[in-house]
Amino acid sequence: MEKIAIISDIHGNLTALNAVFEDIQKRAIDRIICLGDLAGKGPHSAEAIDLVKEKCEIVVKGNWDFFMTEVNDSDVISWHRNKIGKMREAYLRALPMYAEFYISGKLIRLCHASPQDVFNRVHKWTPDQMRLTLFEATPTLNLESDIVGYGDIHGAYVDSIGEKIIFNVGSVGNPLDFNLASYGIIEGDIESVDCFEQHGSKNPDNLSSIAIAIVRVPYDIEQAVMEAVSVDMPELEEYIIELRTAVYRGRK
């Protein structure tokens, strides 16, 4: 069986990202997937993009990755965009919306918010009918998924809806449930989409156990605060409060 680490929502917090990558390395996990929002909010968008690009084998697009490439009427976004340069901007623009593969005979889909829309916000308490839309068939395989993992909401959980599994890996750099960096680990027998396309359907002989875990990683929050203060970035006070309290600025 193989383990894959799944990270999301780094938001330019390099201190938290380094702590998470160190934890992943200690667990001897070689494969890492990122579910978007590499940049924005925090002070080190460029460095976060470079490190994710180096370490992660798959990266999908988040809403802030969209903001950084498509929104031109926001002073806050313009400040962050100016920090990353044209090549990183092109990298974010080209990111796919989702990734799909098989694990222990089950089709897993990974996305930021939904496979179709980076702004489709789904919480644990969202009605099941809406959460089930994340499992709907995509153009890639034209099959419903069995498992969905996503980011976006900065709050980690694992849940089931009937026979389907849904999980959120939380946020590395801007967690809003606990003030600890968060990521996920999924363990099982990993197989590519191509393997199953050859058979034309799922192979019941490949069914085996699956494990999904949420990992919380402490990091030096005050160091992250100092780094934000040192560059005098926009919305600084709101960012610092979120790091220290894990309370979303919109909830005040």
Whether residue 199 lies inside any domain: the answer is yes
Residue 107 in any domain: the answer is yes
Predicted confidence at residue 201, as pLDDT, reads: 53
Q: Which amino acid is at 137?
A: A
Stated length of the chain: 252
State how far the Cα of 165 lies from the Cα of 161, in Å rounded to an integer: 6
* pLDDT above 50: residue 49: yes
pLDDT single digits (tens) 169-207: 999 999 999 999 999 999 999 886 665 554 445 555 667
Give the H/E segment covering residue 47: helix 45-55
φ and ψ at 39, to 5 degrees?
-115, 175
Burial of residue 243 (number of CB atoms within 10 Å: 0-12, 13-18, 19+): buried
Q: Is 114 helix (H, G, I), strand (E, B) or coil?
A: coil
Q: Is residue 233 part of a domain?
A: yes
Give the chain's domain count.
1
Cα four-point dihedral sign 47, 40, 26, 33: negative
Q: 130: part of which helix (H) or strand (E)?
A: helix 128-131
Per-residue pLDDT tens for 209-239? 999 999 999 999 999 999 999 998 999 999 9
Tokens of 126: 């969202």
Residue 186: enclosing H or E segment and its boundaries? strand 181-188
pLDDT in tens, 9-43: 999 999 999 999 999 999 999 999 999 999 999 99
Q: How far is CA 189 from CA 132, 175, 210, 229, in A?
A: 24, 30, 8, 45
Alpha-carbon dihedral 26, 30, 36, 39, rounded to 10 degrees: 60
Q: In whole numbers, what is the pLDDT of the chain averaged over residues?
A: 93
Whether residue 252 is contained in a domain is answered as no
What is the domain-level CATH number for residue 187?
Answer: 3.60.21.10
Task: Give the C-alpha separation, 11 to 36, whole Å.
Answer: 9
- What pTM value is reported for the model? 0.94
Q: Over range 124-132, report the average pLDDT.
A: 96
Q: Tell me, yes or no, whether 125 lies in a domain.
A: yes
**212 belongs to a structural domain:** yes
Residue at 182 is within a domain: yes
Q: Which two tokens stand for residue 216?
A: 């919380």
- Domain around 34: 2-246
How far out from the chain centre does Cα 24 lie?
15
Q: Is residue 186 part of a domain?
A: yes
